Chains A and B, each alone.
Chain A
Amino acid sequence: MKKTQLLKGVLDGCVLLILQEGEVYGYELVQKLRQAGFTEMVGGTVYPLLQKLEKNGLTNSVKKPSPDGPDRKYYHITEEGREYAEQFIQNWEEMTGSVAAIIEKGKSNE
């Protein structure tokens, strides 16, 4: 199974968790995801995701002056986004617990 397929379902939650730590702009977010272990993360995956999160009201954005040129777009998490992130953590813990149990069972039967 491809790693990207697994990633699709959890990336929304990961991005929201990063945004909980503070505002970020696109490139910063790509770097933070790479540092977190998603080493193959690219802008082409992040921008559509940021668009989706903003349209769904989970994030919002503000333009701030940049010393290098035009105003820069910074993303923030909304209250709705925080609720989603909490739900994500809960679901993730439940799911990883179940998956780990199945893997362990499979290993012990080998």
Chain B
Amino acid sequence: MSKQRKKELLEQNNELREKLYPENKQYYEKLLSYMRLGSFFHDPIELEELLLEILQDTVDAQENGDSARDFFGVDAKTAADDCLARIEMKKSEGVKLFGIVLLMSVFLTSMRGLVQPEEGINFVSIFAQILLYSTVIGLFFRWVRKSIYKKTFLANNIFGPIIIAAGMLLFIVPVVLIELLSPESWSVYPSPTIAIGVSILLSIAATIKFVLLPKEEKKAWSGMLPIAWMYTALTILNHWAPFAEWMQEYPLFNGFFPLIFIAICMIINFRVINKEETPEIFEQ
């Protein structure tokens, strides 16, 4: 029931938003992204009803010759914070979010073991990496939300995407440390059939989840999906006889190239999220 109502509200919002002039639409969408990204623990129906109410009134204001800024005010961030503070908190939303982060962490950690059979899947390593990924994902969303109303150094700098990509690559250090320090006795080694099967299933699940996401949330996850597909492709190549030898012969395909691919995906993701603030130099 609540899921259906949320879907209905999202559809109504998407449809009505098209009535806004570009400048008003940009103002409203900033507000919308800021509030949605800050409401992971709030009642989603109450939030969407409020967003739709603001949108309806903004359309009215526009018809009367007022801009969205004239109507809602210059300090939209403070108003959005005030509104969010009054929306009911829902524990179930927090549990749902924890579930998503947990699934994503399990996906990222077990993929490595699936890609390279000799590495295996270590349960201590999975647990440590879940903690690491949850922290990094949490910090990433916090930063994305913060950069909506504040011209952060990274969002405003032409080297921003490169710095972010470098930061992502630095991520390898704790991952490698975790792998080195995890006791061998906690490892399992999946057979090629299981490895390929599981990685395909994980990729399909990630794709379905992505397709079902609301339009605005897709932006935040758009760079993640190709990474999942890349891992599945690598798993197949490493385990499938015709390619396995070749992959071992050229270790760059398991190490350096995937990292470059991940970095490119993150840069594209960064640009999609920050499209409105992207410096002109990137707008070709």
B240 to chain A, nearest CB (A): 52
Q: A26-B54, A69-B16 in contact; A47/B83 too (CB < 8 A)? A: yes
Q: A48-B86, A73-B53 in contact; A27/B16 too (CB < 8 A)? A: no
- How far apart sit A45 and B70, CA to CA, in the bound complex (Å)? 12
**Cβ–Cβ contact B49 & A73, under 8 A:** yes
- How far apart sit A28 and B139, CA to CA, in the bound complex (Å)? 40
Q: A42-B73, A43-B73, A68-B59 in contact; A48/B79 too (CB < 8 A)? A: yes
Q: Find chain A residues with CB under 8 A from B72 CB.
A: 42-44
Interface string of A58-95 (1 = CB under 8 A from B): 00000000101110110000000000000000000000
**Cβ–Cβ contact B16 & A47, under 8 A:** no
Q: Find chain B residues with CB under 8 A from A73 CB.
A: 49, 53
Q: A27-B71, A70-B56, A72-B56 in contact; A48/B61 too (CB < 8 A)? A: no
Contact of B82 among A27, A48, A68 (CB under 8 A): A48
Q: Find chain B residues with CB under 8 A from A48 CB.
A: 79, 82-83, 85-86
Interface string of B57-69 (1 = CB under 8 A from A): 1111100000000
- How far apart sit A68 and B74, CA to CA, in the bound complex (Å)? 27
Could you tell me which residues of chain B, from 26 to 57, have a CB within 8 Å of some CB in chain A?
49-50, 52-54, 56-57
Determine which residue in B49, B53, B54, B71 has the highest number of CB atoms from chain A within 10 A of its CB, and name it. Answer: B53
User: B76 in the interface, Cβ–Cβ < 8 Å?
Assistant: yes
Contact of A44 among B12, B53, B59, B73 (CB under 8 A): B73
B195 to chain A, nearest CB (A): 49
Q: A43-B73, A44-B73, A73-B53 in contact; A51/B12 too (CB < 8 A)? A: no
User: B78 in the interface, Cβ–Cβ < 8 Å?
Assistant: yes
User: A3 in the interface, Cβ–Cβ < 8 Å?
Assistant: no
**Cβ–Cβ contact B52 & A70, under 8 A:** yes
Provide a sorted-by-A list of 21 A–B residue pairs whose CB atoms are within 8 angstroms.
A26-B53, A27-B56, A27-B60, A42-B70, A42-B74, A42-B79, A43-B58, A43-B61, A43-B72, A43-B73, A44-B75, A44-B80, A45-B79, A47-B53, A47-B54, A47-B83, A48-B85, A69-B12, A69-B56, A70-B16, A73-B49
Contacts A25-B57, A47-B53, A69-B56 known; 12 new A-B pairs at CB < 8 A: A26-B54, A26-B57, A30-B71, A42-B73, A43-B54, A43-B72, A43-B79, A44-B75, A48-B82, A48-B86, A51-B83, A51-B86
Q: Which 10 A-B pairs have the closest CB atoms?
A: A44-B79, A42-B73, A44-B73, A27-B57, A48-B82, A51-B86, A43-B72, A70-B12, A26-B57, A27-B60
